[in-house]
Every structure is written in structure tokens, then in C-alpha cells.
A and B are shown apart, each in its own frame.
Chain A
């Protein structure tokens, strides 16, 4: 019974394409996140939503647009993909934004841009 799920698990695409990664959590959490783990293994926050409202928006190119249709879903749409977008993208969720709640991570989506 998966808590945080992401689709697809692997995504290989050409430069310039537009792609989406979907994330769903069945934990009843209010807060969801997108992280990017690059080739140097840094795991960096990109976005965070609380009750469908954007609360964290790091310095990310505006080609990246998160969308939260409801509390249980946070999708990531990427326009005009570039080589440097190749990374593993992790979705996560937590009970709230107080920071004392651990985050539950999805299995990751490995994006390869050719």
C-alpha cells in the first residue's frame, strides 16, 4: 500500500520537449514537496505546497511549474526540457509545515534529457 507514489519511474526524452511527473500521497498529509537530486547527489527543495497553496518556491527556472489539483496530488510540469534538467526528482509529503514532521518520500523519477 504505497504512501507516496510517483509516475513515471523513468522518463527519457529529447531536449525541447514538455513533460509532466505526477505525485500522489494517500497519507492525508497537508504538505507536499518536490526535490531534485542532481548528478552531485545534492537533494534540493524546489517547491512546497500546503493545502494546495504554494509556500516554498526556490530559485527554479520558470519552465518548471507545479500544480496541485487537491491536497493529495502535486504534479510537476517541465517545459522546453534542457540537458541540465536530467536528475532524479523526488516528491514528498508531511503532516504539516511546522518542520517537526518527517517527510515521506516517493520512489523518485529519473529524468534523462537527450
Chain B
């Protein structure tokens, strides 16, 4: 039972255009969400986060939108650059058994074409 889903395994975008990566979750108790970026042969690195009390968080070229009623979040990258080509994971925070835990999606591979 995958509580965090990234239904698009891959996405290709032209350099300079907008990249939109999507993430859906099933547990309405999740209250904090993060996006990580992963290059080949490296571990994931933190990109941006959003609390469930907000619907938007922006950091430079990266913006995360949260739609709680739809249990959906998205990451917008604009303008996209070739260096953004990587796998992007979304993660959602839940509180169970007295501790916080992050549930990760399976990732979306973004390819930005020059």
C-alpha cells in the first residue's frame, strides 16, 4: 500500500520551459512534505519543503504547491536547466508509534533537454 505516489516515472522538458512534477498521497494526517533531488550514484539531497498549513512555498526557481483537499503536491521548476536533470522524490511526514517518519514516493526522472 503505497501512501505516497509519483505516477509519472519520467518527464522530458525543453531547457527554459517549466517542469512540473506531481505527487499524490493518501494519508490526510501527513503534515509536512519535502522534495529531494537525486543524481546518479549519489544520495538524495534536500530541495524544498512545505508545511500542511501553507499552500505554496517558493525558493528561487523552485516552487512547491500543496492542495490538501486533493491530497496533491507539485514541484515547479522554472526556468528548467540541463543541470536539473535528476530523479526527484517527494516525501511526506507522518507521526506513528511516537515518532516522525517519512514516506517516500518512487521518484520521477526529469530530463531537461538543451
Contact = CB atoms under 8 A, between A and B. Distances in A.
Contacts of A108: 41-43
Contacts of B93: 99
Interface stretch (A12-20, A43-51, A61-69): A43-51
Secondary structure call for the B interface: strand
Interface string B49-73: 1000000000000000000000000
Contacts of B49: 102
Given A4-B43, A90-B43, A90-B44, A43 B89 contact: yes
Given A43-B107, A45-B101, 15 more contacts: A41-B106, A41-B107, A42-B2, A43-B44, A56-B99, A99-B93, A99-B100, A100-B32, A102-B34, A102-B49, A103-B102, A105-B43, A106-B43, A107-B41, A108-B43
